[in-house]
Chains A and B, each alone.
Chain A
Amino acid sequence: MSFSIRKSLHPGLNLGEDHGDDHLEAETSVFGFWVFMMSDLVTFGMFFAVFATTMPLACCPGPKELFDLGSVAWQTAFLLASSLTSGMAILTLKQEHGGRGACTKKLVFWLLLTVLLGCGFLYREISDFIAMAAAGGPPTRSGYLSALWSLVGLHGLHVTGGIIWCLVIVAGILVRGVDLRWKLTLLRWAVFWHFLDVVWICIFSFVFLGGLL
């Protein structure tokens, strides 16, 4: 290789230098996924923009009648904890050098724990949606509620996708062992999962807490 592999582009979300050529492949793969992630971020940004323009219509029923602060706090806790466990999964991956090493079990454990926390988040979110509809706030009620359901629902869909993706990775690791393709997939999934938490920060801050102020 003509260029140095000592310097890594993604120090945390990467394999580490003792993975050799796999490490180099991960650099470009993860960077490409960053570009996709940014386009997804723009999509979320536009949902936020539309939501912001409907804020003056937020009434009858509005945030005060519809939101449950405790439940939002639970969802935030679930997602933040899952961010940490997915980070632990990546740390374990770095010690794993292909095949079915000693770390495979640990890796699967962290991934399944992340999935479990994600499911906890989804459970609370769906309960909240059902409660909101029952309290007279279905998406068809007002422009504000349409925007709210679309924005929060889009994030929920992303979390669902992330959970399915993670389960596929777990199945792949168990079937074929931790080979290069699953390593790269895992790194991309980790970027995706961290980003869902980043978007959630904006949602709980501006949609829920901001709405209640």
Chain B
Amino acid sequence: MTAPEKPAYRVIGTRPVRPDGIDKVTGRAVYGADVRLPGMLRGIVLRSPHAHANIRGIDASRALALPGVKAVITGADLVPPGKTLADVPDLASNLMATTKVYYRGQAVAAVAATSEEIARQAARLIEVDYEVLPAVLDVREAMLPAAPILHAGLRTRGGDPNTQTNIIAHHVMAVGDAEAAMAGADIVTVEGEFKTSMVHQGYIEPHASTATWNPDGQITIWTSTQGSFPARQNTSAVLGHPISKIKVIPTEIGGGFGGKIAIYLEPVAALLARKSGKPVKVQMDRADVFEATGPTPGTSIRAKLGATKDGRIVAAIADMAYETGGYPIATPANYATMVAFSCYDIENLKMDGWDVVVNKPRTQDYRAPSSPAAAFAIEQLVDELSEKLGIDPLALRLKNSAREGTRGPMGMPYRRIGHEECVQAALDSDHYRSPLEGANKGRGVASGFWFNVGLRSSVSVTVQPDGTVSLIEGSTDIGGTRASLAMQLAETIGVAYEDVKPTVVDTDSVGYNDVTAGSRVTFGTGMAVVEAGKNLIKEMSGRLAGAWSVPPEEITFNAGTFSAGDKSMTFKQAAEATVGRGPGLTVSGSVNAGFLQGGGFAHHIVDVEVDPETGKVQVLRYTTVQDAGTAVHPAYVEGQMQGGAAQGIGWALNEEYYYDDNGRMANSTYLDYRIPTTLDVPMIDTIIVEVPNPLHPYGVRGVGEPGIVPPLAAIANAVYRATGVRQHQLPMSPRRILETTDAMKA
């Protein structure tokens, strides 16, 4: 289990300054809402006040009559030429309702006017005739036969073609015979039902898009997005407009965490621009972001584990219901079946996953989507099992850990992974070895898994006459990837990090890149960078061969130096000698890095203190351990680990979509939707484990997501140790702690 020896790197593993740092700390960086164009109009979206209603009619005449109003659009404008309303895909109707609204906050119409104030006033003048319908907000209630039906035409995939339902799909995953193994003699079992609330990614920057639509049909869109190419593709599909006529220019992005993959405002701004003939900017306020973008599903999970008395987990069963919000598109329960037991080697598994529509915003990915809620259930049961068996919770995890060859997600055996190494590092940590003393305190641990994805990336590299290189990327940079990609190029071509200048460009200026998501950019786009670097060395060798009059295959490249016989040149000298005097040199690297990239694992330790009178949980100490494969820029790896833990602390303790009796979200502000403040999160200690990923030339693993998986369960386990009460529902707010302990019974 010893981690393989890491090769000696020159740039990888150092901590240089990020290229975008100065602009960001001095306020010069241009984010979505900073875009301003001459003659630009402001767009405002009118949103549904109802969670579920038929739209009988929309009358915009009073809005259009208001001076300063230049255009109004409704769902009918989103129907591409030659199509009818019936052809409009759910993707389009989620952008703007046509005949029905499925959640409060859903876009119904939009106005462009000469000022934001006029646009707002005009939006209030649009009359929408709603027929309000009963709404369903709870995932298990929505599965009942008597529940209000959202989509009349929805049938469970592979299910009865004659039965209306809110269940989109029932995913079944079975290995061995879990029921029989569970019933075996001498098998100790634990089981429970767990619920999590809908939560939001909580990025600081609200969505903003600005568009122009030229008379020749050329559309240009500036937007804050996790993927400019998918944004172009989706806008093209919705508008029925060719991708060659759409250019997406990504701005700096103030956080996404999965919430800025989908498009919301891009086609709206474009259509308003076409109708008005002017550039149009549309941006959301915070309530819009909460009510009309893509939070992560609320869940209900029933699970059971069975183990031998010596601590071998032999069977696991889980029934996992995930909300998808108002539209039958997302499949979070499918992800759940891929991740729920992936930390462990369990012979008999049975998982049922249910994707269910409810009258809430259409859900989207949020950092390791589906995994934290599953871990909240499973990692608490593992904790309960360790208590019942009298085995240390980390020792129990080591005994049952997944390792190379264990069946992984989608049935493929794992390549080399690092879960055991993470648990061992936790066992050896100062935190775990330090006793926790005092009343009302407790320590919890939990493991976490995310599969990480590869997908497609392209970059190009241009050599400048002075020997520096420009790295042209299309992966929008959320987590410091300009730095981590420039470092991989510097490592590959043997130049200093400072001699690589990375730039994220628009969709016309570089090859295709999938979204910045799934912890894939440093991995997948990194592979494209390494390939571009190798292509560059090959090209330079060819040019030097001509200059030195030697066959190209005689030229070697080692530690940044080209040599052949007694001739040698550093990369920089070679660049000056070739590009400085000859034709320019641009190479590219393009990869399809596959769907899965080999798993990422984390293990967390947390100490809490619970105020028995108020139910408030204070996090006292927190340590995260994570396998980074190879940590390209360790400071950013630590930042990802800490960021995941901080978001997990919020999710565990206070965050939730709180609905009033009328189905309205009552806390759509950062005042009442309580993400943690600096005073709620202690310094989070980090331990980076490096078990190189065999699928990447430098051993890189995605690091963005595993860190949010363990906190919910780790904190619940700590609260249990502090109070003696298991927490089956999130958030573990002071109110919930008071309600589940004896505090208020006095």
Partners in one complex: no
Show the binding face of B for A, using Cβ within 8 Å: none
